[in-house]
Structure 1
Amino acid sequence: MDDDSGGCFLVAAIGLMAWGVIWGAIYFYKHHTEAIEDVAKTAVIGLAIGVAALLVLFIIGVLIYAFLGDWIAHQWKRFWLWVELEEQKNLERRRVHHTAHLLYVASREFQHAINEIKKWKD
């Protein structure tokens, strides 16, 4: 696998970790503030829930990476090869269109020159 794909998984894992910690703290604070008077205790419990959610997400991510990591990296590579191929096709289309336009302009100029020569002859 490429180094890039590992970096993508790392960034995704860090994002999921942050999301889990924040979500756990907010959820616990909203639903259990009345039961627990101490806000610091609520925050710690919320962070613990977030860390637990993070751990579960991390384990799920590791399992997905272990079983599907090579396949995901292969699909990612195929996608970028497809993007590059489409860019080349578009570039070729633009070149053909530009060449056709130049031929059209040249033929118009040539026809104009022929008409001028005919006028000049008469």
Structure 2
Amino acid sequence: MAEHYSSFERGGTKWLLQRLTAVFLIGVLAFHFMLLHFVNHAYEITFAGTQARMGQIGYFATMWLFLVTATFHGVNGVYNALINQGLAGTRKRIVGAVLALASLALVAQGTYVALAMNGFL
């Protein structure tokens, strides 16, 4: 029988955050689909409507948290999948640094767009 291996330490912080972000993402994704695919259909979505939704602090905060948690969840999952495949040593540090920089750039750009849609910029 094959032994179970995971780069996540059970009960560790990264393990817990991966699960918590998954639960949050499922809920927010359901909200997103309900609002933007069932309540409002794709052909009804306009730039002005997006600005109006982003002008509401609750919606803005939810979408920004969606951006941050999705970025963390995705990058953390990719990084740990690479570790599970045997990534180690210098390559592990380089990949970790590149993924961290890419994450920061993604969150910064997403925040900029969200603030512009909010009318703050």
Q: TM-score range by the shorter chain?
A: 0.3 to 0.5
Calculate the TM-score normalised by the size of structure 1: 0.36
Q: Which protein is richer in helix relative to its size? A: 1
Structure with greater Cα Rg: 1
| Higher relative contact order structure (alpha carbons within 8 Å, sequence separation ≥ 6) | 2
TM-score, normalised to structure 2, is 0.36
